[in-house]
Amino acid sequence: MASRTPLTGLAAHAELQGMARTLRGASIEQLFADDPGRAGEFTLEAAGLQLDYSKHLLDREAQAALVALADEAGLGERIPALLDGADINNTENRPALHSLLRASSGGELADKFEEVVAARARMRDYAERLNRGELQGYSGETITDVVNIGIGGSDLGPRLVTEALRPYHGSVNCHYVANVDPADLQDTLQALDPRSTLFIVCSKSFRTEETLTNSLAARDWMLEAGATEADLALHFLAITTNLEAATDFGIATENCLPMWDWVGGRYSVWSAVGLSCAIAVGWERFEQFLAGAEAMDRHFREAPLGANMPVLLSLLEVWYGNFLGAGNHVVLPYDNSLQRLPDFLQQLTMESNGKRVSEDGQALDYSTGPVLWGSAGTMGQHSFHQLLHQGTLLCPADFILPLTSHTGITGSHRRLVANCLAQSRTLMVGRSREAAREALLARGLPEGEAERLAPHLAMPGNRPSSVITMQALTPATLGALLALYEHRTFCSGQLWGINPFDQWGVELGKEIGAEILGRLSGDVGEGKMDPATERLMGVWEQAQG
């Protein structure tokens, strides 16, 4: 791929800087007043999702300039390059073909697609046999529980999807163990019976310390319960690119499902990494999940940049991050079953775009990926929303709202919806000091007291948010939602000129972790670490008695 102009070198960047100076001081409410069509027209629909981006510090002119920025940055060519399998991951010389994993045809990528289809058939077979109660453990008991052992992309995606689609669950219970803290595995196994438990060791590299440690402990648990080494074949599957390591670990080749180096871990829930989800919700639902994502892929490929949902969300991210000074982005799903969404999006966006050099290795002099955080509404309202409303940080927000609830309990759900809309509106309208004073007087407070307290109740407002709605949280809309954020992440990476598909920054910590483990295990002699680490290792040794 041709090397690209840095964000700050694009002509539209200079234009946008001027617009940002004006819009920083603009009132969003005034933008609505000046542009009567705004509420209806700053909206977009794609793949069963509706985006309302009207409550932003953005007018039509700035929107057009942002779209021009995307155009100038070459997004129009980069999007098909991604989807068609160009070597977009330039530091690892490979494509990033997560979209192929949910495709219904392979086009030019027929060879890879054939492998995907073959893997899907094997996933389907496991999911269906487990749900029909046809898989038995070493003592002949039916497998009723599946434990996915993995971390990062081998955990967050499948865990999120399984939890989010709880209303669709079948008869098999799926559990997730990620942390090397032994309590994670221990707590999970406490409620399980080894005779009816199947482990899925999910690791693209099959080298991840946490996953291997937990898998060895799971193996011991099985052997201690009376299973023989030969019985383990009935209780362990692996999802990996590293067949050799999986078989060395003792997992039979026929129990290994493939991953490919052209899929990043955080983009892999659509592959066999999602096997636990397919087991939890059944194959048909899993296919609907893939189809929802594929619909978003189609929109991403076909929609013009100015009406392209992932592109627009990315432009908003860049607008706030690079022009209006926001270093963070808050995601607020108003659906309890999406409470893991911020965790998933943290890895997706921060591992992808937490980079400080361009694709070509040049140090960047502008911000890249912001901190992403959030939690399910309404819980956050009773903890961190105070900061959203009155703090000094600019926190652009995404509200995510399924319009109907699987519970059928309309009264409580109506309250949930009211809270979501109220928070988005309150962020925008705020409350003036005068209105606060009036409210205090109406409560019967004396004039002086109302005057004293008014500044504490006043809220600046003018705080931006998007609202993403869907008819219901279904496998298809969930698929579309995750694909939306994947593509948003890609677009932002392209605008910043970085490679969103590597993660070299996690390596050094792993190496130093191994050195320290060597020291703590007494396997290696005194090393020369920094004085603080030497002291803390000593503290740990003393605590061992």
Least distance from ligand F6P to the Cβ atom of residue 486, Å: 14
For residue 211, state whether it binds ligand F6P (rule: CB under 6 A): yes
For β-strands 465-470 and 49-52, DSSP reports them as: antiparallel
DSSP 8-state assignment for residue 322:
I
For residue 151, state whether it binds ligand F6P (rule: CB under 6 A): yes
For residue 152, state whether it binds ligand F6P (rule: CB under 6 A): yes
Closest to ligand F6P by CB, 376 or 498: 498
Closest to ligand F6P by CB, 99 or 214: 214
Least distance from ligand F6P to the Cβ atom of residue 156, Å: 8
Is residue 157 within 8 A of residue 269, CB to CB? The reply is yes
Give the CA dihedral 202, 203, 209, 214, nearest 10 degrees. 10
Question: In the chain, what is the straight-line distance between the N-terminal and C-terminal CA atoms, in Å?
Answer: 58
Least distance from ligand F6P to the Cβ atom of residue 492, Å: 18
Closest to ligand F6P by CB, 212 or 278: 212
Q: Which stretch binds ligand F6P (CB under 6 A): 6-14, 104-112, 150-158, 482-490?
A: 150-158
Closest to ligand F6P by CB, 83 or 269: 269
Least distance from ligand F6P to the Cβ atom of residue 155, Å: 8
Is residue 148 within 8 A of residue 200, CB to CB? The reply is yes
- Selected from 54, 63, 131, 208, the binder of ligand F6P by CB under 6 A is 208
CA distances in angstroms from 359 to 79, 91, 321, 355, 503, listed in the order given: 16, 8, 19, 10, 13
The 8 Å CB, 24+ separation contacts for 129-134 are: 130/172, 130/198, 130/279, 131/170, 131/171, 131/172, 131/279, 131/282, 133/171
Q: Which residue has the tokens 């009036």?
A: 438
Q: In what order do the strands lie in the sheet with 256-258?
A: 173-177, 145-149, 197-202, 236-240, 256-258
- Residues numbered 479 to 508 that lie near ligand F6P (CB under 6 A) are 503, 506
Catalytic residues: 351, 382, 510
Least distance from ligand F6P to the Cβ atom of residue 206, Å: 7
Helix, coil or strand: residue 509:
helix
- Selected from 188, 203, 352, 494, the binder of ligand F6P by CB under 6 A is 203
CA distances in angstroms from 432 to 29, 30, 390, 429, 442, listed in the order given: 13, 15, 12, 9, 15
CA distances in angstroms from 513 to 353, 398, 533, listed in the order given: 24, 36, 11
For residue 55, state whether it binds ligand F6P (rule: CB under 6 A): no
Phi-psi region of 355 (alpha: psi -120 to 50; beta: other; left: phi over 0): beta
- Residues numbered 336 to 355 that lie near ligand F6P (CB under 6 A) are 351
For residue 148, state whether it binds ligand F6P (rule: CB under 6 A): no
Q: Which stretch binds ligand F6P (CB under 6 A): 151-159, 224-232, 455-463, 485-493?
A: 151-159
Is residue 212 within 8 A of residue 249, CB to CB? The reply is yes
Is residue 80 within 8 A of residue 301, CB to CB? The reply is yes
Closest to ligand F6P by CB, 65 or 178: 178
Closest to ligand F6P by CB, 65 or 185: 185
Closest to ligand F6P by CB, 268 or 381: 268
For residue 204, state whether it binds ligand F6P (rule: CB under 6 A): yes
- Pattern 266-285, ligand F6P, x by CB under 6 A: x-------------------
For residue 158, state whether it binds ligand F6P (rule: CB under 6 A): no
Q: Which stretch binds ligand F6P (CB under 6 A): 108-116, 148-156, 471-479, 530-538?
A: 148-156
The Cα 93–Cα 163 span in angstroms is 35
Q: Which stretch binds ligand F6P (CB under 6 A): 54-62, 147-155, 230-238, 450-458?
A: 147-155
Which stretches of the chain bind ligand F6P, using CB under 6 A?
151-154, 203-205, 208, 211, 265-266, 351, 503, 506
